Amino acid sequence: MAEDDKPQQIPSVWARRRRAAEQPGLSQEAIVREAIVMLDADGIEALSMRKLAARLNAGATSLYRHVATKDELMELAVDEVFGEMTVPPAGTGDWRTAAAEAAASFRATSLRHPWLSSVLGQAGLAYLGPNLMSYSSRLADLFSTAGFPEPSRAIDSLLAYVIGMSGTEAAWLTTVARSGETEAGLIARLMPAAQQAAQEHGNLAEGYAHASGTEFDPTGVRDAKFAYGLEVMLDGLALRLQAGPPPTA
């Protein structure tokens, strides 16, 4: 077989044989756990195989025996984090309540790991990982049991909302953390500039004026925004469920 005719290796940690541990105390699991600690603390930009090896008191070469590239490391980290998400068992109650609980779990996990939403489309074939596969399967069971003729479309719609909202929220909270201030304190300091920028935009100016004159609870505001949008999304899915399967061409 000519060199050009050979099948190309799939660039994913889930598509190659796993190697056995070669250094006492060092394992793929330990590497991934420490990588997640670094990602949570400092973000994707701060993570490198060299820094990770130093934190583990190992050589970079030792890490590469367990994880071939940083891209593979990110696949593993994403899958590990998905293991924290919960989905209520299908058929144990109202599908809307279950879907809302699954969405809330995804959001909470994204806020604990603020780098997650930004890498979901970049982490190779992360969807082949066992935790992400299990999560997707449980969501599919939930929507299929509820009667959705195309559960994958319901899943995609729900997750698009949750990822979009939680990703933006996580980015904002990262900004807050880097400022060294409380969320309420940073908002109070930014409010005069926001009010000035909104002066010529009626509804916006009114909203900022109202916010500055009330007791502001940033966490409550973020929770309410997420809950409102989620209800709108579930209302739309409920209408689709009532309408039945789309007509065939």
CATH of the domain at 169: 1.10.357.10
Same domain, residue pair 224 and 105: yes
Q: Which of 36, 56, 80 is the last residue of a domain?
A: 80
Same domain, residue pair 237 and 165: yes
Q: Which domain holds residue 62?
A: 3-80
Cα-based distances in Å from 176 to 169, 187, 190, 215:
11, 9, 12, 19
Same domain, residue pair 111 and 165: yes
Q: How many domains does the chain have?
A: 2
The one-digit pLDDT tens for each residue of the chain (249 residues) are 555 555 555 666 655 555 544 445 689 999 999 999 999 999 888 899 999 999 999 887 888 888 888 888 999 999 999 999 999 999 888 999 999 999 999 999 999 999 998 888 765 566 788 999 999 999 999 999 999 999 999 999 999 999 999 999 999 999 999 999 999 999 888 888 888 888 878 777 777 776 665 567 899 999 999 999 999 999 999 999 988 776 665
SS3 80: helix
Only one residue has tokens 């600690």, namely 37
151 within 8 A of 140, measured Cβ to Cβ: yes
Residue 90, domain member (yes or no): no
Structure tokens at 183: 């969320």
Quote the pTM value: 0.84
Same domain, residue pair 41 and 125: no
Same domain, residue pair 181 and 102: yes
Whether the CA torsion 195, 200, 204, 210 is positive or negative: it is positive
Partners of residue 26 on adjacent β-strands:
23
Same domain, residue pair 225 and 108: yes
Amino acid, res. 154: A
Residue 152, domain member (yes or no): yes
Q: Which of 80, 113, 134 is the last residue of a domain?
A: 80
Q: What is the radius of gyration, based on Cα positions, of the chain?
A: 22
Same domain, residue pair 127 and 194: yes
Same domain, residue pair 66 and 100: no
Same domain, residue pair 144 and 172: yes
Identify the CA nearest to 73 among candidates 99, 93, 53, 59.
53
